[in-house]
Amino acid sequence: MRQLYIAGNWKMNKTPSEAALFAKELAEKAADAKVKVMVAPTFVCLPAVVEALKGSRVIVAAQNVNDHEGGAYTGEVSCDMLSDIGVKTVILGHSERRQYYGETDEFINAKVLFALKKGFDIVLCVGETLSERESGRLREVLGRQVKVGLSGLSAEDMAHVTIAYEPVWAIGTGKTATPADAEDAHAFIRSVVAGIFGSDVAENTIIQYGGSVKSGNVRELMAQKDIDGALVGGASLTLDQFLPIIHCVD
Ligand code: 13P
Taking the CA of residue 95 as reference, the ligand 1 atom at the shortest distance is 8
Taking the CA of residue 96 as reference, the ligand 1 atom at the shortest distance is 8
- Of 39, 13, 12, 42, which Cα lies nearest the Cα of 26? 39
**Are 105 and 141 within 8 A, CB to CB?**
no
N residues, the chain: 250
User: What is the pLDDT at residue 1?
Assistant: 77
Residue 234 near ligand 1, beta carbon < 6 Å: yes
Residue 93 near ligand 1, beta carbon < 6 Å: no
Residue 210 near ligand 1, beta carbon < 6 Å: yes
User: What is the pLDDT at residue 154?
Assistant: 98
Q: In the chain, count of helices (H) and strands (E)?
A: 11, 8
**CATH architecture for residues 5-239:** Alpha-Beta Barrel (3.20)
- Cα separation, 137 vs 155, in Å, equals 27
pLDDT tens for the 250 residues of the chain, in order: 799 999 999 999 999 999 999 999 999 999 999 999 999 999 999 999 999 999 999 999 999 999 999 999 999 999 999 999 999 999 999 999 999 999 999 999 999 999 999 999 999 999 999 999 999 999 999 999 999 999 999 999 999 999 999 999 999 898 888 999 999 999 999 999 999 999 999 999 999 999 999 999 999 999 999 999 999 999 999 999 999 999 998 8
**Are 148 and 106 within 8 A, CB to CB?**
yes
Q: Where are the domains of the chain?
A: 5-239
Q: Which residues have a catalytic role annotated?
A: 94, 166
User: What is the pLDDT at residue 75?
Assistant: 97
Separation of CA 166 and ligand 1 centre (Å): 8
